[in-house]
Amino acid sequence: MKDGSSIHQRVLHYTHKGTDVLYCDFHISSDGYDNVQVEESRQQYGSNLLTGRAKDTVLHRLCRAFINPFTIILFFLAIISFVTDVLLTSNLGRDMTTALLILGMLLLSGIVRFIQEMRSKRVADHLASLLHSSVTVRRDGRWTQISSSELVVGDTVRLCAGDRVPADIRLTTTSDLFVSQSVISGESAILEKGTEILSVGKPQSYGEYRNIVFMGSAVIGGSGEGIVLAVGQDTVYGGFSGAESNRTNRFDQGANSIAWVLIRFMAVLIPVVFIACGLTKGNWFSAFLFALSVAVGLTPEMLPMVVNACLAKGSAAMGKKQTVVKNINAMQGFGSMDILCVDKTGTLTGDEILLEYYMDILGNESGRVLDFAYLNSLYHTGVANHLDTAILKCQTMPKQESHFTQLAVRYSKLDELPFDYERKFVSILVKSGHENLLIVKGNIDEVCARCRYIEYKGKRSRMETDGFSNVHAVVDEMLEDGMKVLAVAYKPMDRDRLSAQDEQDLILLGYLAFFDAPKKTAMDAIQKLKHLHVGIKVLTGDQRDVAVSICRRLGIDSEQVLTGRELDALTDNELPMRMETTTVFAELSPKQKVTIIQTLQANGHTVGFLGDGMNDLPAIVESDVGISVDTAADAVKESADVVLLKKDLNVLEEGILEGRKAFSNMSKYIRITASSNFGNILSIVIASVFLPFFPMTSVQLLLLNLLYDTLCLVLPWDNVDEDACSRPLEWSGRTLGRFMQSFGPISSIFDMLTFVFLFFIFCPLVCGGSYSSLAGTDAQARFIAVFHTGWFLESMWTQVLILHLLRTKKIPLFQSRPSVPVLVVTTLGILCFTVLTFTPIGQLIGLTALPAVYFGFLIIAVFLYLLLMTLVKRWYVKKYHELL
């Protein structure tokens, strides 16, 4: 019963059936499900987890740690080695050392990554437990709060404004329930839901399922109860989210870009190595094996671990700064973000809005305007907002408690049309005795456009043709002072239900003026973000004058302002340019906020969005880094990548810095390791043409690469220069090839110098003759071992020390100090790798102890190498104005 067609039929079936059939078929009592029924339903219909979350198991992470292209290559090499060295060799010549060593490297690499994966999983699970949305469900005769992941088919659920629908639900009772299904349908329209049985026939769109609310929808207003029909991946949203999760995000795009740079280098170098070794050595099978080891040697095997460690460390650091990073990939977004879009209310201004004035149409204080506004706010069941909260506080005014209590008793609610971003106002129908009144409160222009009359001191008259100019003559000064102004209108009615057609021919009664003071910390935070080269753009639904006034007080450039209507009037050619030059966007709908973000992204920006209202939900989802606060609605928090426990831009500044630190350390590993490996491979290509033997065995090359990469695991804990965090960083492979080509060949120069010294001077001196003169003797094998060891040490020393040189644009150790872990680990690494050549383990892989005189040469060569690399680094920074 879990195939797609049967699930769809189940949902469709119950849209045409009464709720009594639903209760009977799923054996639901008035007490809801008990624990036994919950478990039975979970076994039959599955759990409320989407694919990505359900697959995030220990087994899945174990497979991911050990199964990837690089481990497959290693495993393939081990099999070939086993076949050639054991199965196809006589008993006396059998040697499993190479195969066991490769398998040991594979096992070690997988274990290290698995440990990191499990550490990351524990952090992710902990964050999920903190932030997972809860749902009110009836179990064992009482209403209780549980995690939405625990829902099962057949559960009885209660919904209210601000909730995100946790499953596909057949509604059983509703009270002015309005939802947004934009996450599913892409439409921003607000839909009213009910319990009425649908007529027979298949609905043509999701909007026609009037008695069904789908998982992922947001409850905009009202309340309701219903029975769960489908959960997890079986829901409509589950199918959408599976497709969406496969969509490549900015982090994946950058990672793929880096991977393709490495693949292109492989595609060129590996065939060259194979052909060169095959032609010069005559052993094509050995050449093939060596070419495979080059493939592994060119690629940073520990890249996933280092990246994950950097991101996890950054998110852990943010956790200590009142910020919860739900998606650790968002740390990369923080590092590369160059534009931050913010909603005005609560971000640039305080969370508490004060009702300053309630006035008639001429600006005089009016208790009647306040009374009608109070009734509208009292009976509004939409998502809670600061304006309604400010209005309702009037009941605490001295000597007014009884007045507003009696007002609520005298007027009872009949119906409601909640706020939406097309109409921009709320309509409430109330009843007092035999009189029904429609009370409207909302945007001045939208409300006044529907008014035919005005009322002043109880006298009603027709609105003049220039009524709008009269309205703005009263409110414009308040708007320019940064106040938020709403209009209040009403109309007597003789019906008990509302429709959109009733919101015409209204009587304008007066205005409400609110003051939302700028935050004291906002100006300082904005300046800090400017110093970090993060542009601030304000995206708000408020009136233009209010937005401009607040931005002017905070030092935000408000010369270029666009309203929603002006935005819609722009052509496709004008839109990208205006997005770059405009800082303040006012009177926007949620759909227009998304348009702005998409255009900025198309212009090449990495965009973050900070908001907490339901109107911000589409923009948060669309942005590269969606940021919300812990007081936001569940739907908003669940969609955000980052949740701030304190709504303060200063916290974001710290997040950006942490993101850039993580980003910088990731770049260090990728660029330094890739260029170093490229230099080694280039040296091998050249040496393979001229040397009568391989300059290093495949096992030695793989071991060198693995040991070096293991040392690099400490890089996430490295210090980062302050100037490296001063600008957004680009996560891509665009400049990786340039870096590899600039610095890789420098190491090849000194590799060639080492080859010449070893082959023509040192090895003949140690072994008693040139390579050709020692043919057929054990001394020739000794010659090869000394050569391999000499280059192994030179390559290892230069690779490790170049970490210190290229980790900073400054002079290493003096102007820029590495962290203690990096300094200790790299020092111990050089010592341990050097000592390895004197041990039996080194002998097993073909290394041998070298005389002290070689280390004199090695120190001189490494010093000259670092000196030349310093000069090249200065040239590179001067030409490209960046290093990492």
**Active centre residues (catalytic):** 343
Distance of alpha carbon 415 from alpha carbon 431, whole angstroms = 10
Backbone phi, then psi, for 639, in 5-degree steps?
Answer: -85, -20
Q: Could you count the other beta carbons within 10 Å of the beta carbon of residue 555?
A: 14
Distance CA 501, CA 604 (A): 44
Question: Cβ–Cβ contacts within 10 Å for residue 267, how many?
Answer: 9
How large is the C-alpha radius of gyration of the chain?
A: 35
Give the distance from CA 67 to its chain's centroid.
25
Strands, DSSP E only, in 476-619? 483-493, 506-515, 535-539, 561-563, 584-586, 607-610
Measured CA to CA, the distance from residue 827 to residue 835 in angstroms comes to: 12
CA 650 to chain CA centroid, nearest Å: 20
Write the secondary structure of 767-806 as one string of H (helix), E (strand) and C (coil). HCCCCHHHCCCHHHHHHHHHHHHHHHHHHHHHHHHHHHHH
Torsion of CA 576, 578, 580, 585, to 10 degrees: -120
Strand 142-147 and strand 134-139: the pairing is antiparallel
Structure tokens at 839: 């041990």
718 touches 819 (CB < 8 A): yes
Dihedral of alpha carbons 348, 599, 307, 54, sign: positive
Name the pairing type of β-strands 339-342 and 190-193.
unpaired
Q: How far apart are CA 443 and CA 446, in angstroms?
A: 5
Distances (CA, A) of 649 to 335, 346, 704, 852: 16, 10, 46, 59
DSSP assignment, residue 725?
Answer: G
Beta strands in 403-482 (DSSP E): 412-417, 425-432, 435-443, 451-456, 459-462
Host H or E run for residue 342: strand 339-342
CA dist., res. 40 & res. 737, Å (int): 57
Give me 775's structure tokens.
């043919």
DSSP helix/strand/coil, 834: helix
